[in-house]
C-alpha cells in the first residue's frame, strides 16, 4: 500500500509541477501603424496615422505565415514567442515606422532583442500591447524580438484528480496509524 501511495504522490507531484508553455500561435493580434512617425516609441494608439502607408491586415491570427506587411518588403512575422521584422530595400522612405500590435491575448511580461539590430528597432510594451519603432528602415535587415508572456492557465482536471487521490491516500494511511 505504501509503495502504491508513493507512486501516486510522485505522479501527482510531477503532473502538478508541469505547466504548458504560453504560445502566441492561434491567438488573434490587431495592429495600427504610422509609417512617417517622429518621436519616441509609444504604445499610445493615438500615435497611429491612417493617412500613412498602412500595414495589412488590421488583425491576423498568429500561425505559420507572415502576419503583417507594409508593401511587399516590410514584413512582421509572429512566432510562438517571437516577432521577426524583415525589411528588404528599397523601402522608398527613410521615415521611421511605428507599429503597435494590440489586443494580444497573453499578458506580455518582457521583450528582449535576440539578434543584431540593423534596423535600429526600439520597443515598448504594456500587458496587451507591443509597440515597435523601426528607426532605420532604409538599411534593410532582419531583427528578432523575444516576447515573454505569462501563462494564466487553470490546472488540468486530471492533475487535480491525481492530487485528490494522493491526499485521500495520505488521510487513509494516517487513519490506519491512529
In tens digits, the chain (178 residues) has pLDDT values of 555 545 444 554 544 444 445 799 999 999 999 999 999 999 999 999 988 988 999 999 999 899 999 988 999 999 999 999 999 987 777 899 999 999 999 999 999 999 999 999 999 999 999 999 999 998 889 999 999 998 655 556 666 677 778 777 777 777 777 6
**Do the domain assignments include residue 51?**
yes
CA distance 55 to 34: 9
**Do the domain assignments include residue 123?**
yes
**Do the domain assignments include residue 9?**
no
Domain count, the chain: 1
pLDDT at 173: 76
pLDDT at 3: 58
Range of the structural domain that residue 121 is part of? 28-149
Please choose, from the candidates 99, 106, 95, the residue with its C-alpha nearest in 3D space to the C-alpha of residue 45.
99
Tell me the CA distances in angstroms from 34 to 127, 134, 157, one per residue in order: 21, 11, 46
- The enclosing domain of 56 has a CATH number of 2.60.40
**Do the domain assignments include residue 4?**
no
CA distance 106 to 128: 7
Cell of 107: 499578458
Amino acid at each position: 500500500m505504501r509503495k502504491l501511495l508513493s507512486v501516486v504522490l510522485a505522479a501527482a507531484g510531477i503532473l502538478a509541477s508541469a505547466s504548458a508553455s504560453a504560445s502566441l500561435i492561434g491567438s488573434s493580434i490587431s495592429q495600427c501603424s504610422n509609417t512617417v512617425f517622429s518621436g519616441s516609441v509609444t504604445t499610445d494608439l493615438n500615435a497611429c496615422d491612417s493617412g500613412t502607408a498602412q500595414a495589412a491586415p488590421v488583425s491576423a491570427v498568429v500561425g505559420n505565415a507572415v502576419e503583417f506587411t507594409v508593401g511587399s518588403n516590410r514584413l512582421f512575422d509572429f512566432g510562438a514567442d517571437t516577432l521577426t521584422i524583415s525589411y528588404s530595400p528599397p523601402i522608398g522612405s527613410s521615415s521611421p515606422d511605428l507599429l503597435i500590435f494590440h489586443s494580444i491575448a497573453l499578458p506580455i511580461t518582457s521583450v528582449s532583442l535576440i539578434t543584431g539590430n540593423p534596423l535600429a528597432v526600439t520597443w515598448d510594451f504594456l500587458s496587451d500591447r507591443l509597440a515597435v519603432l523601426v528607426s532605420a528602415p532604409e538599411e534593410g535587415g532582419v531583427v528578432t524580438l523575444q516576447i515573454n508572456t505569462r501563462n494564466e492557465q487553470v490546472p488540468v482536471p486530471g492533475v487535480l484528480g491525481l492530487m485528490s487521490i494522493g491526499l485521500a491516500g495520505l488521510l487513509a494511511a494516517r487513519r490506519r496509524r491512529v
